[in-house]
């Protein structure tokens, strides 16, 4: 039996093994493109298993992708998300993980509050300009 024959004999059907998803299934479930999944794999944030040339995503990788996507929605950089995920994987315990997360969240909240203040001020200024322009228009 050749290596190719042996690989064919041991190949698994991702749908048949509990919790494993193909890249197409994973991207559909997560609401992202396959390219997005490959991007995060290239960045080392996820590590799908390989079955031949096919990527298969375990529950762990799907969970990591959900954390990555949540981090992106909350405005964290890929570097920050990677740091958090690496803390999650270490044996340092949950305390250091939570302290790091709390600091990142506090920093992000402060940044968003400053942005909201700037937006509120801009809205007030634009409303004043709008009102002045309307008053100068003939009826």
85 within domain boundaries: no
CA pair distance 39, 49, nearest whole angstrom: 15
* CATH number for position 27: 1.10.1660.10
Both 54 and 119 in one domain: the answer is no
Both 65 and 95 in one domain: the answer is no
Long-range contacts of 86-92 (CB under 8 A, 24+ apart): none
pTM of the shown model: 0.65
pLDDT at 8: 43
pLDDT at position 13 over 60? no
122 within domain boundaries: yes
**Number of domains composing the chain:** 2
Helix (H) or strand (E) run with residue 6 in it: helix 3-10
57 within domain boundaries: yes
pLDDT at 90: 65
How confident is the model over 40-86, as pLDDT tens digits? 999 999 999 988 888 999 999 999 999 999 999 988 899 989 888 87
CB neighbours of residue 58 within 10 Å: 19
Both 70 and 94 in one domain: the answer is no
All residues at 6 or more sequence positions from 27 whose CB lies less than 8 Å from its CB, including other chains: 33, 34, 36, 37
């Amino acid at each position: 039996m050749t290596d190719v024959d042996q690989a064919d004999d041991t190949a698994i059907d991702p749908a048949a093994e509990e919790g494993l998803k193909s890249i197409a299934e994973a991207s559909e479930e997560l609401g992202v493109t396959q390219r997005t999944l490959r991007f995060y794999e290239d960045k080392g944030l996820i590590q799908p298993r390989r079955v031949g040339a096919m990527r298969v995503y375990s529950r762990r990788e799907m969970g990591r992708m959900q954390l990555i996507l949540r981090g992106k929605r909350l405005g964290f950089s890929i570097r920050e998300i990677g740091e958090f995920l690496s803390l999650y994987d270490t044996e340092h315990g949950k305390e250091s993980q939570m302290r790091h997360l709390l600091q990142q969240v506090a920093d992000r909240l402060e940044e968003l509050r400053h942005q909201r203040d700037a937006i509120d001020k801009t809205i007030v200024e634009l409303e004043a300009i709008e009102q002045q322009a309307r008053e100068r228009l003939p009826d």
